[in-house]
Amino acid sequence: MSINKPIFKGAGTALITPFKDGAVDYAALENMLEFQINGGIDALIICGTTGEPATLDDDEHKRVVEFAVEKVNKRVPVIAGTGSNNTQYAVELSKFAEKAGADGLLLVTPYYNKCSQKGIVSHFNTVADAVNIPCIVYNVPGRTGFCISVDSYKQIAKHENIVATKEASGNLLLMMEVLEACAGDIDMYSGDDQQVVPLMSMGAIGVISVFSNIMPGEAHKMAKACLDGDFKTAAQMQLKYLRLMNGLFMQVNPIPVKTAVAKMGLCNNEFRMPLCPMDAADDEKLFNLMREQGLIK
């Protein structure tokens, strides 16, 4: 089977998972999917870190992916987060997502037990061998305690099913080295909203965004400006929204962004422990940043 490469260019939203009375709120999820598509987003990432997958049980995780695929109905690519620190479980979940109709997979590096660089190559290759849809690896050492090396990137980039990386290491030098070493073999998405323009100016093809949960149209326009080579406009947008982007990380993601989405009336401000709502003072700091951009009154 020929793998589509790339899955998307531009801005993809790492979508939150809404809850109501302890359960997944599918009505709110459908509304958020429509809000994203109507806003012009280029792709949707379901059950990534921002979607609180660590506290979804197996049935919930699968149903959220199925639901999103069904409701989006190929209007934009749907990428399912199916990574795990258990390689076999990642394989099983990835096979399920492929069967459900996902357009691609997001595979985070193993966490807690971590692994060696040799292990990460084997882990990603094993998952990619098990499916026939494109895979995006996800490097986020701040959460996992593990960072993919340039040499490991060079090895996994050879797998025809591994088409891109979501780079959230925060290490621009590493990203530059990966872009140079893997040119033509693997694409890159910024995993941090604050680094979209710098990274795309060096060859990344888009962003997997938290910010776009609340401003999908602006995230799309900023990435599109980069793709069009209009870095002056893109830089102006990056700076215009920088304070709000920073505000969405004033506490651990996805607490602030779900608080923001809830304030916009799209979902409840409900989390699963150990995540919990922010206090009123932080709420107000975030809401003031949202007011500056006209998102709320």
* Catalytic residue from among 138, 153, 189, 241: 138
Peptide bond into 254 cis (omega under 30): yes
Element of type H or E holding 259: helix 255-263
Give the C-alpha separation, 60 to 64, whole Å.
6
Relative orientation angle of helices 87-100 and 58-72, to the nearest 10 degrees: 30
Burial status of residue 183 (CB atoms within 10 A of its CB: 0-12, 13-18, 19 or more): exposed
Give the C-alpha separation, 218 to 163, whole Å.
26
Give the C-alpha separation, 173 to 178, whole Å.
9
For 257, the 3-state DSSP assignment is helix
Q: What is the token pair recorded at 114?
A: 């971590």
- Fill in the DSSP letter of residue 64: H
Q: What angle do CA 144, 6, 258 make, to 5 degrees?
A: 45
The yes-or-no answer on residue 111 being catalytic is no
* Catalytic residue from among 166, 189, 241, 258: 166
The yes-or-no answer on residue 138 being catalytic is yes
Give the DSSP letter string of 135-164.
EEEEE-HHHHS----HHHHHHHTTSTTEEE
- The amino acid occupying position 270 is E
For 295, the 3-state DSSP assignment is coil
Q: What angle do CA 172, 176, 182 make, to 5 degrees?
A: 140
For 169, the 3-state DSSP assignment is coil
Of the candidates 22, 70, 14, 15, the one whose C-alpha atom is nearest the C-alpha of residue 272 is 22
User: Catalytic residue numbers?
Assistant: 138, 166
